[in-house]
Amino acid sequence: MEERILKAHGLNIEEYRRIVEFIGREPNEVELGVFGALWSEHCSYKSSKPYLGVFPTKADWVIQGPGENAGVVEIDENYAIAFKIESHNHPSYIEPFHGAATGVGGIIRDILSMGARPIALMDSLRFGDIRRDGTRKGIKDTKPIVKRVVEGIGFYGNCIGVPTVGGEAIFDEVYAGNPLVNAFCLGVLEKDKMYRARATGIGQKMVMVGSTTGRDGIHGATMASAEFSTETESKRPNVQIGDPFFGKRLIECTLEVMEKGLIEGCQDFGAAGLAGSTSEFGAKSKMGVKVYLENVPLREENMSPYEILLSESQERMLYSVKDENVEEVLKIAKKHGLEAAVIGETTDTNRMEVFYKGQKVVDLPISAIVDDAPVYNRPTKEPDYLKDVRSFEQDKLQKPDLREAILKVISSPTVASKEWIYSQYDHEVGTNTVFKPGSDAAVLRLKWVVRPEVKTEKGIAIASDCDGKKVYLDPYEGGKRTVLEAVRNVYITGAKPLAITDCLNWGNPENPEIMWQFKMATQGMADACRELNVPVISGNVSLYNETVLKDSRLNIYPTPTTVAVGVLEDYRKAIPSHYQSVGDVILIVGEVNTEPNVAGSEYLKEVHGLVSGNITPPNFEIEKKMMDFVHRNIGKIKSAHDVSDGGLITALLEPTFRKNRFFGLSLSIDTPYREDFELFDELRSIVVISTDEEHLKKLEKSAQEICVHINVIGRVLSEDKLILSINGKTVIDEPISGFYRAWKEGLERWIY
């Protein structure tokens, strides 16, 4: 087999020989396409699988862990939530609008296939430094990518009627050639009505429901498993095109046939299209499948078996249906305006047999396609760059003008207001959104869960987090911190963290330094999950996030995006991120008396142009005490905001900034350490809270009982003032409106 042909299918010569050995002959073109898609990194996890087993995946409240379309945890005796995050990185660089839109559509179908009604979306985005547009060679400008990605997310979510309730957006030059678009969805279901991607018996019909099949998305899985280069534009046909109106019909149709008990299992059409959905269906069912391609509803003429089988056209689902229910399922699909057809059946052969007009075009053992993909224990090597970045000595930094440093940090696109982004999303459709985008975590009420007659005060808190700089500087400690910060953002709302889902975005796994990062970061994440009792119930791996230039390769930072989900017993008692009232007292809780460290901070990057330093290990004992403190004092704490991007000063300022209005602040900080380090450290476990005079003493007593430090450092003012005193000396006394404008316009000024 020619190497050129194998490369087009994402295979190498050793893998081809393995295929021939498994099936006892050379594969035909269609079979080669099936192997290329199902053995891709995107589908088989052949480079990452050796390390994913370190994650804890079980807890008393976990109903479904990794291995299905989404994970599921129970929230009470009757109901559960399903959630997952996935990447759509490569498509979103090649065609930002459709790449981002279909990322949203795909993750919604993952949740739907579990039997859950999707009720919330989040997006975690990484782009190049938008301020450097016009200076790069061989790489697209960031601004048009940002605009089209945001437009695509808003288009799909708004049209399908699922609110986008939060997320994050980071701007760093390492993502300029390879933006990250990670889409998260959460849904609610009755826990005894969960569906899985499998049939329950031999001879059950496989019914395809949804949109017609076209030529869009062919080779999408293999394209997502390779690096970018100057030939990227030629890959546009690999990007799927979504239709959210069909997506909405598909939601209602699928929930109806599930509610009526007409189907046995459900699988969405994602990567590898019909080849992926049917073969995975057979593998999970421990059965074979027969597929009849002439029955597949098409939108284009003269499509070949290869194209029909590997198309990744959107808005399609596969149901397993007993004979007696087929007609009713087809009737319901037609009622919803969807295409529907019986395209195959389960068999006892454990083989994937595909026919086209009487001719068998695929005849393969399902185990070879799904279970026997190669698994690579790739070489690992500690990166050479670590010696340089860890030799950094922060005490040698020149002291900046504090006012100018604060303005630089809060106006950086990463820290600045993201209102331009989230204002394009409908975050209130469904009227369940309690805390809107811009808070540490989104909070949703479940005023109705699945049935309108069910009344409940329970709520859900969701937060996404990852600082790739810190993972780059220390993959193990940085991996811990991405879990910790997502969990912290959930628990400071008053919610009990239940589980996480992660999207592991990395560079080229064939580079030993990249795989060393991956190995260490996943171990760090796993250790943090155990410390915080939050299992990993679902996730995704995205590798080859690099761009090949004429004389170099640009890898992204290792970016293990983590979404934590928790449950609130009463959403009405959820703790907001923003200050609530003039005169309220501001306190900091946690590691308030320990030495600050600006390693990997936005301050170090923006003010000194450095990404360096040693990432200190998080103190989980302190973190668990802080969680206990917050949960004990729900009702006494009026606001809570964690210290992360931008450091303590950012965490103190941001809660004053509300849409088109702001409070003033009077702050007095005492510290034996350098002023800039105290203000901009991002590594200590600290939460900024506010309360009223009535509850101040109670909070101080509670902190003393738990043995966690707490300091009063300021008050909320009514006037347009920022008064900042450090060790008794006033270092800033001016209108806070200037800082608000810097924060508000930090991203917008580069977009318009």
Mind telling me the catalytic residues? 42, 88
Neighbours of 590 (CB within 10 A): 25
Q: What tokens were used for 372?
A: 């026997």
Contact between 62 and 71 (Cβ < 8 Å): yes
**DSSP letter string, 456-519:** ---EEEEEEE--HHHHHH-HHHHHHHHHHHHHHHHHTTTPEEEEEEEEEE-S-TTSHHHHHHHH
**SS3 state of residue 182:** strand
Residue with tokens 């690096």: 227
Q: What is the 3-state secondary structure (H, E, C) of 299-316?
A: CCCCCCHHHHHHCCCCCE
Q: What are residue 85's DSSP bridge partners?
A: 184
- Nearest CA to 547 among 26, 139, 103? 139
Q: In what order do the strands lie in the sheet with 709-717?
A: 639-642, 686-691, 585-590, 709-717, 664-669, 722-726, 729-734
Start-to-end CA distance of the chain, whole Å, equals 51
- In degrees, rounded to 5, the angle at the alpha carbon of residue 553 between the alpha carbons of residues 550 and 557 is 150
- Nearest CA to 585 among 631, 641, 638, 661? 638
Tell me the residue type at 26.
E
Neighbours of 537 (CB within 10 A): 31
Instruction: Round to whole Å and give the CA distance between 745 and 747.
Output: 6
Q: In what order do the strands lie in the sheet with 71-74?
A: 62-64, 71-74, 79-87, 180-190, 117-127, 164-171
Residue 570 φ/ψ, nearest 5 degrees? -145, 110
